[in-house]
Structure 1
Amino acid sequence: MPYEPPPDLAGLTLAEITALAEARKLPPLDQWSPGEMGESHMRIAADGRWFHEGGEITRPAMVRAFASLLMRDDAGRHWLVTPGQKLAIAVDDAAFIATDVRQDAGALAFRLNTDDLVIAGPDHPIRAAGDADAPAIYLGVRHGTEARLNRSTWAQLAEIALAGDGRSVTSRGATFSLMPA
């Protein structure tokens, strides 16, 4: 079955975004207990590109498939998880890149570089890191992984914050500071 990416965020309501995000069938990583551990020889660069043994993975479908198997443990280490294996993967910064944001009905919906749709809120928090001169904003995705907002998405989020108190944004009842601690 051919892959059809979701429409642009600008043309979707919050209800449509929610339905699309919920319709995505993701593997139940938290239910698997693989017996074999090892190294994947893969790396996700800070710009969101995926590499295997030094060569870039250029097929978007492969990146989406691998991304659906990704988790981060409490120690901050990223893993590709299948029912039989748990393979370490190097991540330079964040596993995903947030490439767009839309505010609708009291929520902030993000599109990721993998075409995943994530609605910020208590289960998908926004976190500010870095410092005032070089801030970095992250969105919780799933299984401990995060997406770093790219420059244009960060600017969109800053405009949303400036329309309010200038320092924070609210989504699904949760307020998130955009000021690094």
Structure 2
Amino acid sequence: MTQMPTNLKALAPDMGALPSLDQGRPDCGDFGLKIHRDGTWSYYGSPIGRKPLVKLFASVLRKEGDGYWLVTPVERGRIEVEDAPFTAIACERQGENLLFTTNLDELVTAGKDHPIRIEVDPETAEPRPYVMVRAGLEALIVRSVFYDLVAWAEERNGLLGISSGGVFFPLGPCEA
């Protein structure tokens, strides 16, 4: 008769922690998944309409220097991301903090660990704002939410910006 191991954690990894890429998982190549600029996911060109499935994929999403990967306990595969893997679709002020909601229902409070950054598109000169969601994965802040941030912004030292979590995030220069 086989005995059950006393340490069940030895059999099952901690599902709350993302697996590391360097633990010898076989590289399965391209998974055929793509995250579009608007936050929709597709599989070989067909949109994935089941949000719980997308949330499951997103839970094992990692960004490494050479791109984006889905990393499971037994394998890993590359996926394509057009811009950022998430979109910030809503933001509300809670006292001195900004609470963002992503397209996958994750809540992120902007601050030291979840900074807001602005990139300027070199072709159009339009701002592309982002907020860090987790472990190197950002959300593109949608235009309507960015307009809210600008409406709440204040001027400091010639910069228009917004504070959250005790950090001032510049949104851009003040126009004369």
TM-score, normalised relative to structure 2:
0.80
Contact 2:92 2:98 in 1 (8 A): yes
> What residue in structure 2 maps to residue 14 of structure 1?
none
Aligned-pair identity in percent equals 36
Q: Distance in 1 between matches of 2:100 and 2:139?
A: 10
State the Cα deviation string for residues 82-106 of structure 1 (Å, max 9, x = none).
Answer: 1111211100001000001111121
Q: Distance in 1 between matches of 2:24 and 2:152?
A: 43
> What residue in structure 2 maps to residue 134 of structure 1?
126
Superposition pairs of residues 16-165 of structure 1, within 5 angstroms: 27-30=16-19, 33-37=23-27, 38-75=29-66, 77-131=67-121, 133-161=125-153, 164-165=154-155
Any gaps of 5 or more consecutive residues in structure 2? 1-14
Contact 1:71 1:142 in 2 (8 A): no
RMSD: 2.1
TM-score, normalised relative to structure 1:
0.78
Richer in helix (by share) = 1
- Give the CA deviation at 1:27: 3.4
> What residue in structure 1 maps to residue 10 of structure 2?
none
Q: Distance in 1 between matches of 2:128 and 2:96?
A: 23
Report the AA paired with residue 84 of structure 2.
A
Richer in strand (by share) = 2
Contact 1:94 1:148 in 2 (8 A): yes
4+ long deviations beyond 6 Å = none
> What residue in structure 1 maps to residue 168 of structure 2?
175
Report the AA paired with residue 156 of structure 1.
D
- Give the CA deviation at 1:133: 3.6
- Specify the structure having the higher radius of gyration (Cα): 2
* SS in structure 2 of the partner of residue 141 of structure 1: strand
Contact 2:19 2:73 in 1 (8 A): no
Q: Distance in 2 between matches of 1:39 and 1:170?
A: 40
How many pairs are equivalent? 153
Q: Which has the higher contact order (CA 8 A, sep 6+)?
A: 1
* SS in structure 2 of the partner of residue 28 of structure 1: coil
Cα gap change, 1:60/1:167 in structure 2, threshold over 3 Å: closer, same or farther?
Answer: same
